[in-house]
Each structure stands twice: as structure tokens, then as C-alpha cells.
Chains A and B, each alone.
Chain A
Amino acid sequence: MSKEQDVIVAEHELSEGNLKSYITGFLLSIALTLSAYFMVVRRSFTADRIIAVIVALALIQFLVQMFFFLHLGKETKPRWKLFVVVFMIMIVLILVFGSIWIMNNLNYRMSPEQINTYLNNQGGGF
């Protein structure tokens, strides 16, 4: 009994991946990595366009690895793992874009031109 039970427990312990999903994920990730790399090395577009494309490729690869390596979509109904992932993404977006926004704004307000404008408006005070 114990051996068979072990197998079943193992089945639950180990996530639901199979060989096909790992190979698919691996090949897709390689393709995405190489296309991003050669896009940057070849420089066939303007910088802004390259940035947009490689960020999109990174996000696609994130999803690919989440689904094929971490088996995110195969969870059964109370999808707690997915729930935590969504929450994490929300925090990450607030943290990253909030920081960039605040710091750029601060840079702008602390720039010499801004300070001069302010001083002039004050009638050369201080």
C-alpha cells in the first residue's frame, strides 16, 4: 500500500507539467530570447521601436514561462496562486512606475531652469 500511496502523493506534490509543455516552453523561450537579441544587435529600427518590441517579447516570455514551466493555468478552482500573481503584478507596477514618475518629477522640479524661473517670479527674492 505505502508504495502506491507514495506515488499518488508524489503526483499531488509535483505540479502538472508534462514533457510536451516543458519542450514547448523551452523552444518558445529560446526563440523569443534570440529574436530580442538580434533585434538589438542588428539595429534595423529606430531605438524607440526596438525598445517597444523587446519589452513586448520579454512580457510574452514571462507568460510563456509562467504557463509552461510553472503551470499557472492548470490550477483548479479556488485559484489562489493566480490571485497572488495578480496581486504581485499590481504591487510591482505601482512600485516601478510610481518610483520612475516621482523621481522624474523631482528631477524636473530641481532643474536649474526651474529654480531660476521660480526665483525670477519671486522678484529675485532670497
Chain B
Amino acid sequence: MSDVANPPMNLDISNAEYQKNSKTLFGFWVYIMTDCVLFASLFATYAVLHHNTFGGPSAQNLFSLPNVLAETLILLTSSFTCGLGILSARARHKNKVIFWFFVTFVLGIAFLFLELSEFRHLVITGNSWRRSGFLSAFYTLVGTHGLHISVGLLWLVVLFGKIFSGGLTRNNLRQLTLFSIFWHFLDIIWIFIFTIVYLMGAVGK
């Protein structure tokens, strides 16, 4: 265990196992990239429709920026704690892994709560997805991201169960790695939602 940072290379690593894992990681990476294309089509839809307010409110006078900044910082921090969880997993500190991924989970819930309360506020004030083309595109884009976040949280719950029952097995470590890629990716998508939907909306273009 002392050589974690610098593994001895002459030890017999099961090559087949390594190949299988790197293929899994690569396959997941390709999935993530196709998901980027899905989000790109939703961004394109939003870009085309965001002027079509049909007499309703535009992005300039609809969103509360401090709320959005809080969401952004929460998601960014959860991406960071997810990375710390991966580092602890590499060092095989089971308790630290559970701690950091639990922080990630709580931050994810907080993000989802803020997003849903924003949606709720908008719908109550009469600006649901039925109001205009702009709002349909807005809910589809931001809602798809929120759906991904929810799926990620569900995945994390399953992983907690597996880690509690089985410990940090190879399989669970691989799953954690895949989850971390997914979570970092969702934060990257959020950068663009934050910039294009909220900030550019506030500027009024």
C-alpha cells in the first residue's frame, strides 16, 4: 500500500482487466460527447427561439441573477468535491470517499432545489412553458440539464448502497470514476447555460 503514488511497474498487472477498464472509460467518454451534441441542439433551439416572446416577458426581465449565481457556485463546488472524492478513492480511504461524495450529493440536491423553486416561481407568475416559444426552449434546455442532475443523484444513491455493502471494490471504483466524469461534464454544460441563457439574457441580446 505504500507505493500508491508510484506503483511498481514490474508487478503482474492483469492486462486484460486494464484493457477492459480503459475501454469502459473510453466508451463512457464517447457517450458524454454525444450528450454534448444533444445539448448543442437544445442550445441551437434556444438561440433561434429566444426572441419569440409572443408579447410575454423576455430573458432580460425574468430571471433573478443572484439566485443563478448561487446555483452556479453550488454546482461548481459539487464538481470540486466530487474530484476530492475520486482522490480519496484512489488513496482507498473509504470514509473520506463517503464523506466527499455525500457532500457532492447534498450540493446536487441544493442545486436541484434552487432550480425547481425558480421554475415554480416562474410557473406561478404565469410564465410556464406554454407562454411563448422562448419559454418552451428555456424549460427544455434547463430542464434537460436538471434531469441529468437528477439521474446523477440517483446513480450516486445506488453507488452509496454498493460501497456500503461491498466496500471499494474494483467495480465500485470504476463506477465512481464514470460518475465523476458525468458530474464534471454537467458542470461544463452549466457554464454555457449560465453564460448564454442567464448572463446574455440579462444583457438583453
A80 CA / B22 CA spacing, docked (Å)? 11
A41 within 8 A of partner (CB)? yes
- Give the nearest-CB partner of B79 in chain A: A69
Measured CA separation A5–B48 after assembly (Å): 53
In the complex, whether A114 has a CB less than 8 A from a CB of chain B is no
Size of the B side of the interface (Cβ < 8 Å), in residues, is 64
Given A26-B76, A54-B195, A95-B37: A10 and B65 within 8 A (CB)?
A: no
CB–CB A5/B11 < 8 A: yes
| Measured CA separation A78–B40 after assembly (Å) | 27
Interface centre among A37, A51, A92 (most CB of B within 10 A): A37
Let me know if B65 and A41 touch, CB within 8 A. Answer: yes
Which B residues lie within 8 Å of A14 (CB)? 86, 89-90, 173, 176-177
Question: If the complex has contacts A17-B87, A85-B33, A88-B37, are A37 and B199 also in contact, measured as CB distance less than 8 A?
Answer: yes
Q: Known interface pairs A3-B1, A11-B90, A36-B199. Does A22 touch B11 (Cβ–Cβ under 8 Å)?
A: no
Q: Given A11-B90, A92-B36: A58 and B195 within 8 A (CB)?
A: yes
Count residues of A near B (Cβ-Cβ below 8 Å). 54
Is A8 an interface residue when CB atoms closer than 8 A count as contact?
A: yes
CB-CB under 8 A from A69, the residues of chain B are: 79, 83, 184, 187
| Pair A13/B202 contact, Cβ less than 8 Å | no
Query: At the interface, is chain B mostly helix, strand, loop or mixed?
Result: helix
Bound together, the chains give a CA A19 to CA B169 distance in angstroms of 22
Interface string of B171-185 (1 = CB under 8 A from A): 001101100010011
Cβ-based interface call for A55 (8 A): yes
Assuming A22-B84, A36-B195, A51-B205, is B44 touching A10 (CB within 8 A)?
A: no
Instruction: Indicate whether A84 reaches chain B with its CB closer than 8 angstroms.
Output: yes
CB distance from A49 to the nearest CB of B (A): 10
Instruction: Give the distance in Å from the alpha carbon of A6 to the alpha carbon of B69 in the complex.
Output: 41
The smallest beta-carbon distance between B197 and chain A, in angstroms, is: 11
**Interchain CA distance A88-B3 in the complex, whole Å:** 38
Neighbour of A7 across the interface among B72, B87, B92, B204, CB < 8 A: B92
* Residues of A9-25 whose CB lies within 8 A of B: 9-15, 17-19, 22, 25
B13 touching A8 by the CB < 8 A rule? yes
- Are the C-beta atoms of A7 and B187 separated by less than 8 Å? no
19 interchain pairs (CB within 8 A)? A9-B21, A11-B4, A12-B18, A13-B21, A13-B25, A17-B83, A19-B87, A30-B76, A36-B199, A37-B199, A62-B191, A65-B188, A66-B188, A80-B26, A88-B34, A92-B36, A95-B41, A95-B44, A99-B45
